[in-house]
Amino acid sequence: MLGVNQMRKNSPESQKTEYKSSWQEEYFGWICGYANAKGGTIYIGVNDDGYVMGLNDTRYLLDTLPNQIVSTMGIVVEIDHDTALARGENIKYNSVPDDIAQKPENLYVRGILTEKALADIIANPDNTTNVTNDVQKLFDAAPGFVKQLRKSEQLRNKVLTDLSIWQKDNPVHISDDGSLEYVFITVRPCPIAINYHGHFYVRSGGTTRELTGIALSSFLMERMGRHWDGMPMPGMSIDDLDSLAIEAYRNKSVLNGRRTKEQVTVPDQQIISDLKLLDETSENKGELLRAAVLLFHPDPERFVPGAYIKIAYFAPEGAYGANKADDIIYHDEVKGPLMLQADKVVELVYTKYLKALVSYEGLQRIETFMTPREAFREVVLNAINHKLYESGNPIQISVYEDQIVVFNQGKWPEDITLESLYEEKHSSYPHNPSLTSTFFNAGEIEAYGSGFKKIRIECDKHNAPYPEIRVTPNGVTVIIKPCDLYMKLLKHGRYWQTYPDYKEKSSEFLATEDGSVITTEDGVPLVVETEKEVDPAVIASIDRMMEILTSNLSESEKELYLPIAEYLKTHDTIKNADAVRETGKSSETCKRYLKKLVELDVLVPEGTNKGRYYRRK
C-alpha cells in the first residue's frame, strides 16, 4: 500500500487534483466539472495539504457513489481506496515543506499537537527543561511554534479553541490497527456535455464553476462539434457582403504569399466557398456562416452586437507612475467588416492617438513610437480572432501617455501558462476557428500559436518590454508598456542624453559672509555643488537648431557639421578656434562652416575681427 501512496505523491491541488477531508454532496458538481474539462481526481479523507485524515464511511462511499454518479450524470468513474499505515502520512509531497508541516492544524492531524501537550504548556509556559514527552515531541516538530506558545497567552487560548473545533469538525479517523483509509475518485474527460441535475459545471483554473448564459451556449456547441462562428445565418447571401472587403482579402492573400493571383481571380461566391464559410449541413446547405458575416458584411453589428472596436485617449497623470484619471479626451469606434478593422485601428492609433517622440542620432532625426507597430497590430489581431462575439461587448483599447490597454472579452486557453507565454511554442486554441482560418489564409496571422513569438521578436528589435497579460473571468487584458527610448524621451525630452535631468550642475567655493574662502585644517578650500534647472529657452534653441540642420543639410554635410552641432548642444556660443578643435579642420574651412550656419539662421555673429564669436539663436 505504501508503494501506491508513494507513486501518487507530488500531485499538488490543481485543476486536475483536489484533496478533501470528507465527502460532501457538492462534490458531485466537481465530478461533473472534471468530466466536462480534462478529467481529474478527488481524494477524500485527505486534507488540503495532503495529510491523510482517514474515513469512517469508506465502504459506504465505495458502494453508493458509483451508482449515484451513473444515475445522475450517466458516466462511469473509477472509485478506489488506499491506506496510510500510520498517522501523519502525506500523499501530496515527497518532502513536506516546513511551513506546511508546522501549520498548527497539520500538527493536530499528525497527532503531534495534542490536548495533553497544550495543557502542559498552558500550565507552565516558562518550563523549558523538565518538559513532558508530549511537549518535547511538539517542540522537535515545530520549535518556533512552541516558543510562540510560551510567549503569548493570547496564542495559547486561540490554539486551545481551534483544537476543540478541529476535533469536532475535522476528526482524524484511525482504524484499530493504526492505519487510515482514504478514497480517490478518478474522472475521465467526456466528449459529450455532462450535467448534474440539469446544471452544467466545468473545472477551470483550479475551481469548479457552473456554466450559464453565453458560456453554456458556447460549451454546448463545442461539445456538438460546432463553434459559435460556424453557425449558419439564415436569410443571408453573398450579395449581402461587401465586395471591397472580399477584394481586400484577395489582395492580402496574394501579397502575403498565401494564395496565387490565379487562385483568387474567381467570383466572390467561390472565394467564400473556398474559405469554408458556407454551411454544409443538409438543412442549411449553402447558407453563410456567422464568420462570413463578421468578416465581410459592411455592417456586421446589425447581426452581431458589439462587433466593433472602441478606442479612447485618457487624460495622462504624468509620464511615470500610475494613470488614475478616468477622463476621456477623445474617442472613436472602428466598425465594418472584421477583415478591415485591424488596418483601420492600427492606422488610427498611430496617426491620431500615438505621438512619435523625436530624438537625434548625430544629425539623423529619429522618430520613436511607444510600441512597435507590428507588435501592436498582432495584439489587435489576437483580440479580433479570439473574442467571444456572443458576449455582445466590443473590444476596448485605452490609450494613455505611457501605456496602451487592450481589453477583450475572450477566453484564455487553460493549457497555456502566462509565465511561459513568450518562452515556449504553444498550441493554438481558436475560439473562432472559421475566423482564424480566414485571417491565416489572408496572411494576417502566422501559423497558429506563433502570434506571441512575433510580438516577442518585434519588442526585442525595439528594446520594448513584452506586453503583460492579465486573465480574469471577465476576459483578457493586454497592457502594453513603452520601449526604453520612448520613456526616456517622454521623461527628459529629445536631448535627454545631453540634459538627462534638465538640471545644470555647478560648483563654487564655500565662503563666509565677508567673502573669505572656508578651508579645511589642511588649507584645502571647501567646494559646494549646486544644481539648477536648465532654462527651457535653451532646450527650445537646441531643438530649433537640430530641426534646421536635419532638414537643410545633405547626408555628407551632416557628417561634417555634426561635431559643431554636438558642441552647441552644451555651449551657447562658439568661436572659430572651437570649431577647428572640434572638427579637426582648417581655420578657413571652419569659417565657411560657421558662415553657412549663419545663413541657415542657426547662429548669430557677434563681435568683430579676432573677438568674433557666434551665438546659437
pLDDT digits (tens, 9 = 90+) for 11-36: 454 568 899 999 999 999 999 999 99
Q: Does residue 434 sit in the same domain as residue 562?
A: no
In a domain, residue 494? The reply is no
On the question of pLDDT at 419 being above 80, the answer is no
Query: Average pLDDT, stretch 93-101?
Result: 92
- pLDDT for the residue 216: 86
Q: Are residues 385 and 373 part of one domain?
A: yes
Regarding whether 182 and 233 lie in a shared domain, the answer is: no
3-state secondary structure at position 367: strand
Can you give the CATH number for the domain in which 601 is found? 1.10.10.10
Overall average pLDDT of the 494-522 stretch = 59
The CA distances from residue 305 to 262, 288, 375, 388, in Å, are: 36, 18, 28, 11
Task: State mean pLDDT over 210-214.
Answer: 86
Looking at residue 447, its pLDDT comes to 63
pLDDT of residue 410: 82
Give a yes or no: residue 133 inside a domain: no
- The residue assigned the cell 519588442 is 459
b/e per residue 195-223 (b: at least 16 CB within 10 A): bbeeebbbbbeeebeebeeebbebeebee
β partners of residue 17: 41
What per-residue confidence (pLDDT) applies to 84? Answer: 93
Q: Give CA–CA dist 373/301, Å, rounded.
A: 27
Q: CB-based contacts of 494: which residues, under 8 Å, 6+ apart?
A: 357, 358, 359, 360, 543, 546
Q: What does the pLDDT average to over 218-229?
A: 82
Residue with cell 579642420: 585
499 has a pLDDT exceeding 60:
no
How sure is the predictor about 501, in pLDDT bands with cuts at 50, 70 and 90? very low
Is residue 493 one of the residues assigned to a domain? no
Residues 357 and 478 placed together within one structural domain of the fold: yes
Q: Structurally, how many domains does the chain consist of?
A: 5
Residue 340 lies in a domain: yes
Select, from the ranges 91-105, 269-283, 538-552, the one with the highest average predicted confidence (pLDDT): 91-105
Q: For residue 116, is it within any domain? A: no
Residues above pLDDT 90, as percent of the chain = 53
Report d(CA 132, CA 275) in Å as an integer: 80
Cβ-Cβ contacts under 8 Å for 398 (sequence gap 6 or more):
312, 314, 404, 405, 406, 407
Is residue 142 a part of any domain in this protein? Answer: no
Answer yes or no: do 268 and 318 share one domain: no
* Domain of residue 584, residue span: 536-616
At which of 282, 302, 322 does a domain end? 302
Residues 431 and 542 in one domain: no
107-121, 140-154, 157-171, 402-416: which range is least confident on average?
Answer: 402-416
Specify if 140 maps to a domain: no
Type of residue found at 497: Q
Judgement on whether residues 478 and 508 belong to the same structural domain of the protein: no
Considering the domain architecture, whether residues 56 and 181 belong to the same structural domain is answered as yes
What local confidence, expressed as pLDDT, does residue 294 receive? 96
The full length of the chain comes to: 617
Return the DSSP state at 49: T
pLDDT at 114 over 80: yes
Quick one: pLDDT at residue 449? Answer: 58
Same domain, 264 and 379: no
pLDDT at 119 over 70: yes
Residues 227 and 187 in one domain: no
Q: For residue 125, what are the contacts with CB-CB under 8 A and spacing of at least 6?
A: 149, 150, 151, 153, 156
Average pLDDT value for the chain: 85
Rounded (5°) CA angle 581-586-587:
85
pLDDT score, position 60: 93
CATH number for the domain including 26? 3.30.950
The pLDDT tens digits for 245-280 are: 999 999 999 999 999 999 999 999 999 999 999 987
pLDDT of residue 320: 39
CATH number for the domain including 466? 3.30.565.60
Q: How far is CA 187 from CA 20, 60, 75, in A?
A: 16, 19, 9
Residue 161: inside a domain, yes or no? no
Distance CA 149, CA 141 (A): 14
Pair 438, 465 in one domain:
yes
3-state secondary structure 412-435: CCCCCCCCCCCCCCCCCCCCCHHH
Give the domain-ending residue among 270, 302, 334: 302
**Within this chain, do residues 476 and 410 fall inside the same structural domain, yes or no?**
yes
Dump the DSSP string for 157-168. Answer: HHHHHHHHHHHH
Read off the pLDDT band of 512 (50, 70, 90): low
| Last residue of one domain, picked from the residues 302, 334, 367 | 302
Tell me the sheet residues that pair with 19.
43
